[in-house]
């Protein structure tokens, strides 16, 4: 398969059930590699920045980087 696709699914009653629609043609043959999802730990970041000072220039730079990435993703999604 030249373009590998990655999907999440749940195994129930002997069947893999994907969490979303899979972009395949009816009857198309595929090769499947199964990896168990690792348990993810939730980490609280509450209070991490308490007492910290962030300069306005740093906030502006972070906004610029965020918006640049967002525009790139929107452009990618609109191209589909």
pLDDT in the model for residue 44? 78
3-class DSSP assignment, residue 26: coil
In a domain, 65, yes or no: yes
In a domain, 47, yes or no: no
- Nearest Cα neighbor of 30 from 19, 39, 38, 22 is 22
pLDDT in the model for residue 51? 78
3-class DSSP assignment, residue 16: strand
In a domain, 78, yes or no: yes
In a domain, 72, yes or no: yes
Per residue in 12-57, pLDDT (tens digit) is 999 999 988 888 899 999 998 998 888 777 777 777 777 788 888 8
Q: Three-state secondary structure along 30-53?
A: CCCCCCCCCCCCCCCCCCCCCCCC
Report the number of distinct structural domains present in the chain. Answer: 1
pTM score, whole prediction: 0.41
Domain that holds residue 67: 53-80
- Nearest Cα neighbor of 35 from 19, 3, 2, 11 is 11
């Amino acid at each position: 398969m030249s373009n590998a696709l990655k999907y999440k699914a749940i195994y129930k009653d002997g069947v893999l059930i994907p969490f979303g629609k899979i972009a395949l043609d009816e009857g198309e043959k595929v090769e499947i590699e199964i990896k168990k999802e690792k348990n993810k730990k939730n980490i609280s970041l509450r209070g991490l920045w308490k007492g910290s000072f962030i300069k306005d220039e740093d906030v502006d730079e972070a906004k610029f980087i965020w918006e640049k990435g967002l525009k790139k993703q929107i452009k990618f999604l609109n191209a589909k």
